[in-house]
Amino acid sequence: MSHWDPALRSVREAANGIYGPRSFVGYLQEIGQDSSQYRTATELSIDTRPELASRLDDNDTMVLRLGRATDGPGTQFALVHVPDHLDDFFIDEREFPPVDREILDYSEGGDDTLALGQDVQDMLEVYRSLPTFSETGFVNFALSTGLLSRALGLDSDRIGTAPTTVASTFEFEFEPHPDRPTVLHHDDGQIEIDALVMTRRNGERILFVIEAKCGGRHELAKHKLGYPALAAETSLSLDVDRVVPVYLRARPVKEGVRYSIYECSGLPMGEERPCLAKLHVIDDSHYEVRL
């Protein structure tokens, strides 16, 4: 028996297909489980499809972390039951094969290196000396060399300033799925944003909200992009034309780094309620950067 079984029985019987929001600790205590035996982050903070509990996956049910609980201690969560539509909560990178991967030669003396300014060429020496990149390093490299500008079609050839990272608490509302149009409230919960970049494209003032991951391709949970985008759009006092979520995947290879950059649709605001599952990839670019 799984600790998720009582909630799964309830969510299948619920007219709106949603269980919660509930305090996770309170839920465990109610079903007679020792809450100290469970790690809230592991149970609720699902970044990729394999991290979703198998019992939830088998029952087409997504778990969403929703910030500070209002009915008990700790963090609250909701389960969303979507028969045959669990895939709608994930971006599956396998749907975007890198068949047209562009090669960029940033090796010492390489053609693409020589086209860069001297300050960027000097910085490339630092990158070449590193044994590995952090996620922040992958983002900074893509910005400073102009890789991100190329992928997103920005007005500037490159962005020389370091991006802003965010780790704070935010409140916002959204609907989880078109078939489940119930408003969920993320209440004063921790959100981490890998990079915020303010720039222009076709004259528009755009805030790019970047989620960066290292390693092989995954099925990324859409809330990893949707939550930061909603936090930026509803809580930051910025005068922008649009907020655009971007998913950046980088993987070291023998001669350098392979990048996949996915521009995603925004979550509509105003009169239309933002819907998490409607977030989707609208453009993808793939590169091999040789160092």
Residues 213-238 pLDDT 10s: 998 888 999 999 999 999 998 877 78
Tokens of 208: 């790019």
Give how far Cα 140 sits from Cα of 97, 122, 133, 203, 248, Å. 25, 14, 10, 23, 11
Token pair recorded at residue 286: 């793939």
Kindly report the average pLDDT of the chain as a whole number: 92
- Between strands 184-201 and 164-174, the pairing is antiparallel
Strand ranges for the chain from DSSP E: 18-23, 61-68, 75-81, 90-92, 102-105, 164-174, 184-201, 204-214, 219-221, 242-253, 256-264, 281-290
Listed by start position, the domains of the chain span 5-81, 92-290
Angle at CA of residue 71, ends 68 and 74, nearest 5°: 40
Lowest average pLDDT, out of 69-78, 79-88, 131-140, 205-214, goes to 131-140
Look at 49-63, 123-137, 165-179, 209-223 and tell me which has the smallest mean pLDDT.
123-137
pLDDT band at 42 (very low <50, low <70, confident <90, very high): very high
Residue 250 has what pLDDT? 95
Query: Looking at residues 187-191, what average pLDDT do you find?
Result: 93
**Cβ atoms of residues 286 and 100 within 8 Å:** yes
Can you give the pTM of this predicted structure?
0.93
Cβ distance 248 to 213 under 8 Å?
Answer: yes
d(CA 268, CA 68): 25
Q: Is 261 within 8 Å of 148 (Cβ atoms)? A: yes
Looking at residue 99, its pLDDT comes to 84
Pairwise pLDDT comparison (205 vs 267), residue with the higher score: 205
pLDDT at residue 269 in the model: 57
pLDDT of residue 192: 92
Q: Nearest 10 degrees: CA dihedral of 128, 138, 219, 176?
A: 180
> Could you give the percent of the chain with pLDDT greater than 70?
98
Instruction: Tell me: pLDDT of 268 over 70.
Output: no
Q: Are 196 and 209 in contact (CB under 8 A)?
A: yes
**pLDDT tens, residue by residue, 92-120:** 999 999 888 999 999 999 999 998 889 88
Greater pLDDT, 56 or 272: 56
Decide the pairing of beta strands 75-81 and 204-214.
Answer: unpaired
pLDDT band at 7 (very low <50, low <70, confident <90, very high): very high
